[in-house]
Structure 1
Amino acid sequence: MSLNALSTATAGLAATQAAINVVSQNVANAGTAGYVKRTLSTVATGTNNSGVATGAITRSFDAAALKQLRLETSGAAYTSTKAGIASQLDALFGAPGSAAALDGTLNTFTQSLQELSANPTSAAARTTVLSNASALASQINGAANAVQNLRTGVEAQLGTDTRSASTLLSSVASLNAKIQNTTDAASLADLQDQRDQVINTLSGYMDVQTVDQRDGTVSVLTRSGVTLVDRGSAAVLTFDGHGSLNPNSTYSTDPTQRTVGTITATLPGGGKIDLGAPGAIRSGSLAAGIELRDQILPQAQRQLDDLAGGLASALTNTSVGGTLNTTTTNGVTASDTTITLPKMQPGNSVTFQVTDSTNTVRNVTLVASTTQSNGTIIPAGQTTDASGLTLTFNASGGPTTYFTQIQAALNTFNSDPASAPYKLPALGVTNGPATAANATLTLTAGGRVASAATASITQPTSPSDLTTGYPQLALFTDVSAAPPPTPRLFTGSFDSGSQLTGFAQRISVNPALSGDTTALTASSATDKSASGGRAQAIFTALTSAQQTFSSSSGIGGVSAPYRASVVGFAQDVIASQGAAASNAAALDDTQQTALSTAQSRFSAGAGVNIDQEMSNLIALQTAYGANARVLTAARDMLNQLLQI
């Protein structure tokens, strides 16, 4: 027997023993979370490759499956977070048609109005109307406060998740440094397992991707391209939470205007990136939290604000219509609109449509104000029509000044560079007869006016004015939170910020009616004798008359205002929330299934299969026995030689 055979057998024993150790380690860690199956490669050595040596211990997994697992983990955290809040919102608004839902409480209120119209002399019927109105206002208050509590909870959770994600980034960088300095194959595999587990956990908070480096480290980036970990250096994530949020709390890229927290990534070089900006984080619980706080929950607040505003204005406002004037010259048709405006209160408005340079019809709304500068453009998020134009004009001087003030507002807009995106022709106004009671105006836009103007005018002059605006009545008022509670008319004013924003928290039954319920059944502005006419008019205003609700509510689409009765809008809001919750739950179920599939796919390649490992162990034992027999034969031969 040659010495080469002995050398080969000895090397084979060593290689087989090392392989058996790897198999044993696999079997021992079959149930260990995050453990990836190891394999040991062998290398041919010696003359004519007659020998063998142990190679590297490698982790056996499918890189594509790992990438998919992280993608689905991120998506599942995103859909789960959204589905949880959507379910709470749905419960908050109630089941469509149920007595406890918003539309159920509204229906109870409108039914009591019908009963009052049929029995106007009943003091009990008048009291029931006010009681049901108060219950409706209280339910809207409670729902709106609950929405803001949800936003506050999401804000707090964003802070917690941000701290956790920052800790995980630091752990990845620390493991990268250890991997760089580790030469032992088994220890290296353990560290890589730990790093993968950390990154997998991180993907639940945000959408991340990794790039393998030549030195064994990985770089971690968001899918929008922000590098969070580069070898041994990691960005630090911080969240400047703002505590309790309110309807006016909004995100802005301008730090001086932002009133909610944002996620700031401080890079190793000192640079800062705002990860709370739209699109910076696209999935995971952090992305879901930002979307919930800044879009979904504010939209729910806007729905409640619109409902509250519709309730109040439907009972106090009257519509004034204008005429469309059309002329044709040499085959070219041009149009403008004439309207006679009475005295307007802050927030009252006149609206007409203009065809822009792209042949798109846009609403142009002029809002009365006493404090805003002429021509101030009201941001789209605060207006009824997000795609239209809303300008303020100073109406404090009464109808005799409307021509001058509206023309000044239109001139300001026409000369402002901010007017360019609207693509509107030059807006103008022509003066007509004016008295202290009303003013007649002709609104022009280069002959491209597309509809007759309409104005929304608040009839009562104050909450205590219960008869002047018959049949209009300030049944619901805006009660300030600051003590003492002071009721004021809801007119949609922009003089101290948008009155509509947060109105759902402040809507209340007019306290003046509590002391004079007979106003509910007054026969006219001058006759307080009981009649069912006013109660019937209020019922009709809520159940039949069409109101314009903002596109920001998301009901009927987000590109144009939505018209419906107040009762119809309430029903649509509840149905919308129910559908949103159902869709969110269905999407989450689908995503959880995708995550389970990804986990199974990854485990199939990276997990330990006991049967396969036992089969490998039997083969290795056979090989070990064969090598041992060679050495045993060599020992016996040497013993025989020594005995000669």
Structure 2
Amino acid sequence: MSLNAISTSAAGLAATQAAINIVSQNVANAGTAGYVKRTLSTVANGPNNSGVATGQITRSFDAAALNQLRLETSGAAYTSTKSGIATQLDALYGVPGSFTSLDGTLNTFTESLQELAANPTSAAARTTVLGNASAVASLINSAAGTVQNLRTGLESQLGTDTSAASTILSNIAKLNGKIQNTTDSTSLTDLQDQRDQAINSLSSYMDVQTVPQRDGTVSVMTRSGVTLVDRGNAATLSFDGRGVLSPTASYATDPAQRTVGTITATLPGGGKIDLGAPGVLRSGSLAAEIEMRDQTLPQAQRQLDDLAAGLSTALTNTASTGTYSGTDTQISVSTMKPGNTITFPVTDNTGAVRNVTLVASATSSGTIVPAAQTTDSSGLTLTFNASGGPSTYAAAIQSAFNTFNASGSAYKLPTLSATPVSSTGTSATLTLGAAGKVAGAASASVSAVSTSDLNTGNPSLAMFVDGSGNKLYTGSFDGGSQLTGFAQRITVNGALSGNTAALTATSATDTSASGARAQKLFSALTSTQQTFSSSSGIGGVSAPYSATVIGFAQDIVSTQGANASNASALDATQQTALSTAQSRFSAGAGVNIDQEMSNLIALQTAYGANARVLTAARDMLTQLLQI
């Protein structure tokens, strides 16, 4: 027997022993989280491939399955976060139709108005109306407060999650450095497992993708293309949280105007990227938290603000409609308070019909109100200075039009014009034109009441007021939008507590009890259509939505219920997708005990065969030495 056989068998024993060690390691770590199955390759060695040697220890997994796992992990964290907040939001409004729900509480209030209309002399019925009105205001206050608490909670969670994600990025960069400088294949595979686990953890916070490099490191970037880790260098993430958020807190690309926190990635070279900007993070818990804080919850706040505003103005404002000649519109209005409106449609320069809304102001003319704060976000809302009274309205409106036309606004409207027909100290008749582009009759909404003289606007009544100084709610934009945050401030007019008889006053001059006023207040809430903002998301987002106050409350409850149900269903689907991705990855990367035992039997057979060759060689040499 050639001495080559001895060396070959010895090499075979060493290679087989190394392979058995790998099998043993796989079996021992079968239940270890993040452990990827190892395999050991062998290579031909010696003259004419007469020997064998151990090659590299490699991890056995499907790269495509790993990428899919990270994608589904990110998606599952996103849908889970959204579903959790949507469920909490839905719970604010109670079970639809129940006595304690938002619509149920409103129904109880309107029913008490009906009962008062039937028993106008009953002091108990008047007290019940005020008590139920207070319950409505308190429920709206509470719901709006909880919405802001949820936003504040998300602001805090964003800070915590940002810090955790930043730590993971740093760990990935450190592991990249160790992998780059490690030559031992056993240590290398352990480091690669740790790195993959870190990237998988990162994917629950944000949508990431990896790019392998030739030196064994990986670059990590968001799916929108922001590089967060490049070999041994990692971006540092920070969050400038603002603590307790108010209803006016919002995101803006201009840091000077932004009043919520954002995630800033500071790159190794010193550059900064705003990860909180729309579209940068597309999935993961951070993206969901930003979306819920900046879009979903502000929309819920807007719904409650619109409901509070509708509840107030339905009982205080009188609506009127002008006449349309085919070329312009004529409308009469009485003294207007800041926030009262005149609206008329025009055909813009693209052929589309848009609403122009003129908002009375005590200070300015021609200021364009931001679309998000208006009832009709697709139209144009301009202020006009109404402080001089009706006799100045035409000139003030013309001044507003001139200011708008001179501003070079992006709105595609024709040149606007206004010409007075007649005016007195208390009312004005206006003709509104737009170079023949007026598309219909104008309408106006004017507050007809006072918070202190409860009979001035009979049957209108300031039952619900702005809690800041017991002010009349008009929707003014002077000093900021009165609508924003009104749901937190709405309260029952304090003057009514000491004068409940006003609920049944026959007229402004006759205070004898009559059920007519209570009945008209009931009709204003249950039968009269109000216009609610498209920004509330009820009935679509492209045009104002018309409904009664009661109907709008029911729509809020049903919309939030549907949103919660949809979010829960989407999350369930995504969790199933994640489970499938985990199973697919585990099928390729996990340790199969049966397969490892089969491999072990084969290795034992090979080990025994090599050992028998050495035994035979030993016996032959012994015999030769004895000759």
State TM-score, norm by structure 2. 0.99
Residue 358 of structure 1 corresponds to: 350
Is 2:310 the partner of 1:310? Answer: yes
The Cα offsets for residues 331-357 of structure 1, whole Å up to 9 and x where unpaired, read as xxxx21111121100000000111112
- Give the letter aligned to residue 303 of structure 1: Q
Question: For 1:7 and 1:542, how far apart are their aligned partners in 2?
Answer: 99
The Cα offsets for residues 532-566 of structure 1, whole Å up to 9 and x where unpaired, read as 00000000000000000001110000111100000
The Cα offsets for residues 365-402 of structure 1, whole Å up to 9 and x where unpaired, read as 0000012x311111111111111110001000001111
2:490 to 494, 500, 507: 507
Question: Structure 2 matches for 1:168-567, cutoff 5 A?
Answer: 168-326=168-326, 335-371=327-363, 373-417=364-408, 419-420=409-410, 422-460=411-449, 462-480=450-468, 486-567=469-550
The Cα offsets for residues 569-597 of structure 1, whole Å up to 9 and x where unpaired, read as 00000000000000000000000000000
Question: For 2:203 and 2:215, how far apart are their aligned partners in 1?
Answer: 23
Question: For 1:500 and 1:297, how far apart are their aligned partners in 2?
Answer: 16
The Cα offsets for residues 463-514 of structure 1, whole Å up to 9 and x where unpaired, read as 102111111000000011xxxxx20000000002100100000000000000
- Give the letter aligned to residue 459 of structure 2: P
- Give the letter aligned to residue 156 of structure 2: A
Question: Structure 2 matches for 1:35-46, cutoff 5 A?
Answer: 35-46=35-46
- Give the letter aligned to residue 346 of structure 1: P
Residue 332 of structure 1 corresponds to: none
Question: For 1:25 and 1:588, how far apart are their aligned partners in 2?
Answer: 37
Residue 6 of structure 2 corresponds to: 6
Query: Shift of residue 119 of structure 1?
Result: 0.5
**What SS is found at the alignment partner of 2:92?**
helix
**What SS is found at the alignment partner of 1:215?**
coil
Question: For 1:615 and 1:363, how far apart are their aligned partners in 2?
Answer: 77
**What SS is found at the alignment partner of 1:591?**
helix
Residue 133 of structure 2 corresponds to: 133
Is 2:551 the partner of 1:568? Answer: yes
Residue 581 of structure 1 corresponds to: 564
- Give the letter aligned to residue 370 of structure 1: A
Question: For 1:286 and 1:567, how far apart are their aligned partners in 2?
Answer: 37
Question: For 1:605 and 1:317, how far apart are their aligned partners in 2?
Answer: 69
Query: Shift of residue 358 of structure 1?
Result: 2.3
Question: For 1:201 and 1:613, how far apart are their aligned partners in 2?
Answer: 29
Query: Shift of residue 325 of structure 1?
Result: 1.0
Query: Shift of residue 446 of structure 1?
Result: 2.0
Say which is worse superposed, 86-95 or 599-608, in terms of deviation: 86-95
**What SS is found at the alignment partner of 1:488?**
coil
Residue 330 of structure 1 corresponds to: none
Residue 331 of structure 1 corresponds to: none
Question: For 1:95 and 1:361, how far apart are their aligned partners in 2?
Answer: 40
Identity %: 77
Query: How well do the aligned residues superpose, as a CA RMSD in angstroms?
Result: 0.8
- Give the letter aligned to residue 560 of structure 1: A
- Give the letter aligned to residue 512 of structure 2: S
Question: For 1:50 and 1:325, how far apart are their aligned partners in 2?
Answer: 105
Query: Shift of residue 50 of structure 1?
Result: 2.6
Query: Shift of residue 53 of structure 1?
Result: 1.2
The Cα offsets for residues 189-218 of structure 1, whole Å up to 9 and x where unpaired, read as 000000000000000000000000000000
Query: Shift of residue 49 of structure 1?
Result: 2.1
Question: For 1:114 and 1:438, how far apart are their aligned partners in 2?
Answer: 34
Query: Shift of residue 428 of structure 1?
Result: 1.3
Structure 1 gaps of 5+ residues are 327-334, 481-485
Query: Shift of residue 530 of structure 1?
Result: 0.3
Question: For 2:138 and 2:384, how far apart are their aligned partners in 1?
Answer: 34
Say which is worse superposed, 6-15 or 559-568, in terms of deviation: 6-15
- Give the letter aligned to residue 533 of structure 1: A
The runs of at least 4 consecutive aligned structure 1 residues that moved more than 6 Å come to: none
Question: Structure 2 matches for 1:92-103, cutoff 5 A?
Answer: 92-103=92-103
Question: For 1:131 and 1:443, how far apart are their aligned partners in 2?
Answer: 44
- Give the letter aligned to residue 48 of structure 1: N
- Give the letter aligned to residue 479 of structure 1: G
Count of aligned positions:
627
Query: Shift of residue 46 of structure 1?
Result: 2.6
- Give the letter aligned to residue 572 of structure 1: D
Residue 483 of structure 1 corresponds to: none
Query: Shift of residue 47 of structure 1?
Result: 3.0
Residue 329 of structure 1 corresponds to: none
Question: For 2:453 and 2:398, how far apart are their aligned partners in 1?
Answer: 32
State TM-score, norm by structure 1. 0.97
Say which is worse superposed, 7-16 or 618-627, in terms of deviation: 7-16
The Cα offsets for residues 420-465 of structure 1, whole Å up to 9 and x where unpaired, read as 2x211111112211111112221112212111000000001x3102
Question: Structure 2 matches for 1:595-634, cutoff 5 A?
Answer: 595-634=578-617
**What SS is found at the alignment partner of 1:93?**
coil
Question: For 1:380 and 1:433, how far apart are their aligned partners in 2?
Answer: 32
Residue 15 of structure 2 corresponds to: 15
Say which is worse superposed, 430-439 or 398-407, in terms of deviation: 430-439
- Give the letter aligned to residue 215 of structure 1: D
- Give the letter aligned to residue 575 of structure 1: S
- Give the letter aligned to residue 351 of structure 1: T
Question: For 1:491 and 1:36, how far apart are their aligned partners in 2?
Answer: 66
The Cα offsets for residues 511-536 of structure 1, whole Å up to 9 and x where unpaired, read as 00001001000001110000000000
Question: Structure 2 matches for 1:36-115, cutoff 5 A?
Answer: 36-115=36-115
- Give the letter aligned to residue 132 of structure 1: N
- Give the letter aligned to residue 404 of structure 2: F
Question: For 1:292 and 1:229, how far apart are their aligned partners in 2?
Answer: 27
**What SS is found at the alignment partner of 2:483?**
coil
Question: For 1:391 and 1:232, how far apart are their aligned partners in 2?
Answer: 55
Question: For 1:363 and 1:40, how far apart are their aligned partners in 2?
Answer: 74
